[in-house]
Amino acid sequence: MLTMRLPTFPKVYNVYFVAVIATVGGMLFGFDISSMSAIIGTEQYVDFFDNPHGVRQGAINSALAAGSVVGSIMAGPISDKIGRRDSIMFACLWWLVGTAIQAGVSGFGTLMAGRVLNGVCVGITSSQVPVYLAEISKKEKRGSIIVIQQLAIEWGIFIMFFVGYGCSSIAGPSSFRLAWGLQFVPCVFLMMGLPFLPRSPRWLAKVDRTEEAITTLARIQAKGNVNDPLVVAEWDEITTVLAAERAAAPGWRKFVHNGMWRRTMAGFTYMFSKWPSNILLISSGIQYALFIVFTSIIFFYIDKTSRRSLLMYGAIGMAICHFVVGGVLSSGEYVPNGVDGNLNVLIRVRGSKAHTVIAFSYLLIIVYALTLAPVAWVYAAEVWSLETRASGMAIAATGNWLFNFALGLFVPPGFANITWKLFITFGVLCIGAAVQVFFTYPETCGKTIEEVEELFSKGGPKAWHTKPGHSKLDGRIEEARGKKLGLKVDETKVEAAAPEVPTTVG
């Protein structure tokens, strides 16, 4: 039996502090991505690993994603067993081993092994940190809290890029060994902070630790007041939905029974739209900075606007950028031996064409940072039921990492074989993603994660008819406040707090 009990530490219940600590797991992801992109073009790397390119470089690129698939598959059962918080601690152990192997890398085999082990950690944290954040956040702040994870990824990428750049001045293999060894730092920081975080109150409810669940929920939402109307209303909602979920189909059937297949499709498939997260396609620290700046902007607006709109228009904007870059590169000079000897870069453009490629590459990053990069993780964390959230988010992360694995393996030989047409392929996939959102993704902004149950239930509203806000919880809080004060509550106001949707839980 897998168990992990942390010593008793005083807990901090400020959700922003909790989010900052928990999302260091995202920073690990950013560190590992950027540690490769910052090193891959250096003479030290090329000489030591014998100028890897094509399938060999693709294998190195995709090793992290391969490990992440394994970690994502493990994540759901582990999180349900030991909790969201402790599953993140468990993930850190894999990171320590993987980083140690990379710091002492002796060749292609040890590099692959280290990246795969780091990937196991990333698979667990990338799926369970959003679950943890979604379960501790108020509905009005849930999006911005989860966006902090994306910001942590981007800061990790940004910091490690310049660490790698600085280490590139060191002669020999010590340059990349030091850069990869520095990945210990955020992991140790995360392991030190985790014991001070509370457990998810929804996970505590799921495992029947009722008193602890109510106390934790009250401390997060109402400064410890268990009789606060918000706490009373939200706890009633949690327990009602949990009871309905437990009466649903057991085992794997719970992911497809009634309306659950819609959530499984929504959580799994939209992660396929996150291919720009393969940061090896990006070559400039300026673009890392753009990531941080524009994701920081959406942090302030994500809970005030439509998730559907951000996903749809973001995909369309990215498609346009891909089409433009592909079109410009189609008229470039093909260099079969690689530009400046780099066999991963086979097309040279100059003058206005080069400026256009650079401009639309920057624009692609801006659109991605404002839309898909943060919102895809937010949406995936929101759509699952309490009974399926840990494993469901693991399914979503598995979809993400399977596609990243395929992308990392495919892009180097794909660019070598079809060159500019690769960008056209990406653009077409973006258009397909936008169409899928319009027809199958209901709006989740401003809803409690229990209310999302109704949006995906059998016979629920059409996706394009759903709007942000209109949460029934506000009416339930009014009802709870009225009962506390001994007042009669107008039931029509409670029901009017949200549009009529079926109440059958899928």
Confidence of residue 284 (pLDDT cuts 50, 70, 90): low
pLDDT > 90: percent of the chain: 25
Please state, in angstroms and as integers, the Cα–Cα distance from residue 431 to each residue in 319, 396, 424, 425, 439, following that order.
6, 20, 11, 10, 13
> In the Cβ-directed half-sphere of 490, how many Cα atoms lie within 13 Å?
4
Whose CA is closest to 462, among 505, 501, 504?
Answer: 501
H helix runs in 194-306, sequence order: 201-206, 210-222, 229-246, 260-269, 285-301
Encode pLDDT of 140-151 as tens digits. Answer: 888 888 888 888
Lowest mean pLDDT, pick from 77-91, 332-346, 473-487: 473-487
pLDDT at 37 over 80: no
pLDDT at 309 over 70: yes
More confident residue, 275 or 319: 319
Residue 342, pLDDT > 80, answer: no
Whole-model pTM: value is 0.75
What's the confidence (pLDDT) of residue 288?
78
CA pair distance 151, 295, nearest whole angstrom: 7
Task: Report the distance separating Cα 183 and Cα 105, nearest Å.
Answer: 14
Classify residue 251 by burial, with Cβ atoms within 10 Å: 0-12, 13-18, 19+. exposed
CB 400 within 8 A of CB 269: no
Do residues 66 and 112 lie in contact, with contact meaning Cβ atoms separated by under 8 Å? no
The percent of residues in the chain predicted with pLDDT above 70, rounded, is 81
Q: What's the half-sphere exposure (Cβ side, CA atoms, 13 Å) at 310? A: 29
pLDDT category of residue 162 using cuts at 50, 70 and 90: confident
β-pair partners for 334:
347
> Which CATH code fits 15-198+248-440?
1.20.1250.20
Average pLDDT over every residue of 334-341: 70
Q: What is the 3-state secondary structure (H, E, C) of 461-504?
A: CCHHHCCCCCCCHHHHHHHHHHHHHCCCCCHHHHHCCCCCCCCC
Task: Label residue 493 by pLDDT band (50, 70, 90).
Answer: very low
Task: Please list the alpha-helical segments (H only) found in 104-141.
Answer: 108-136
Any idea where the domains of the chain sit in the sequence? 15-198+248-440
Per the rule left: phi > 0, alpha: psi between -120 and 50, beta: everything else, 501 is: beta
Instruction: Write the DSSP assignment of 348-368 as a string of letters.
Output: E--HHHHHHHHHHHHHHHHHH
Name every residue whose Cβ is closer than 8 Å to that of residue 9 and which is 6 or more positions away in sequence: 195, 196
The arithmetic mean of pLDDT across residues 465-490, rounded, is 67
| 474 has pLDDT over 90 | no
Tell whether the model's pLDDT for residue 123 goes beyond 70.
yes
